[in-house]
Amino acid sequence: MRVVIQRTGHASVTINGTCKSAIQKGFMILVGIEETDDKEDIDWLCKKIVNLRVFDDENGVMNKSILDINGDILVISQFTLHASTRKGNRPSYIKAAPEAISRPLYERFAAGVGRALGREVATGEFGADMQVELVNDGPVTIWIDSRQRE
């Protein structure tokens, strides 16, 4: 499982001209799922994400977690995080899990992040054509792959 976490001032996702979800200060998380991902990947990532210390403390040092600042989270599925560009100029998405596998894992991931955060998180809509807007605060962008946890 691969995530891109962006620290936001605010973020939103719009589908067919209607805002589905919007958050203020917190994280927008793009998540890509592989066929071999499982509950262990979800549990590890959820714990890692809510404990990341990337928010400023009173001294302006990134020393606080999203739990410490009571921040919001927006989770969006993005299969293109598993794009391979080794050959040619057209990316291959062969490592991205098919919908039958990725949809339930995406839903479990969003629910797991919510449990770790202590409240429900905002989401996009799996498989939809979405317009995503955010103000990347910092900018702070972090990439984590659960296959590289050791």
pLDDT value, residue 98: 92
- pLDDT band with cut points at 50, 70 and 90 for residue 141: very high
| Integer Cα distance of 127 and 37 in angstroms | 18
The architecture in CATH of the region 2-148 reads: 3-Layer(bba) Sandwich (3.50)
Q: How many CB atoms lie within 10 A of CB 44?
A: 14
> Active-site residue among 27, 55, 79, 109?
79
* 107 pLDDT more than 80: yes
Per the annotation, the verdict on 85 as an active-site residue is no
Per the annotation, the verdict on 141 as an active-site residue is no
* pLDDT tens profile 4-48: 999 999 999 999 999 999 999 999 999 999 999 999 999 999 999
Choice between 150 and 65, residue whose per-residue pLDDT is larger = 65
Residue labelled with tokens 């792959």: 145
**CA dist 138 to 2, 6, 59, 95, 118, Å?**
22, 9, 15, 31, 25
pLDDT value, residue 54: 98
Q: Which of 41, 63, 43 is nearest to 52 (CA)?
A: 63
> Active-site residue among 24, 36, 80, 131?
80
Which strand (E) or helix (H) includes residue 146?
A: none
For the chain, strand residue ranges (E) read 2-15, 18-23, 26-32, 55-56, 62-64, 72-77, 122-123, 131-145
Mean pLDDT of 90-107: 93
Per the annotation, the verdict on 79 as an active-site residue is yes
- pLDDT band with cut points at 50, 70 and 90 for residue 82: confident
pLDDT value, residue 84: 86
Q: Is the pTM of this model over 0.75?
A: yes
Structure tokens at 67: 């739990």
> Active-site residue among 78, 85, 123, 126?
78
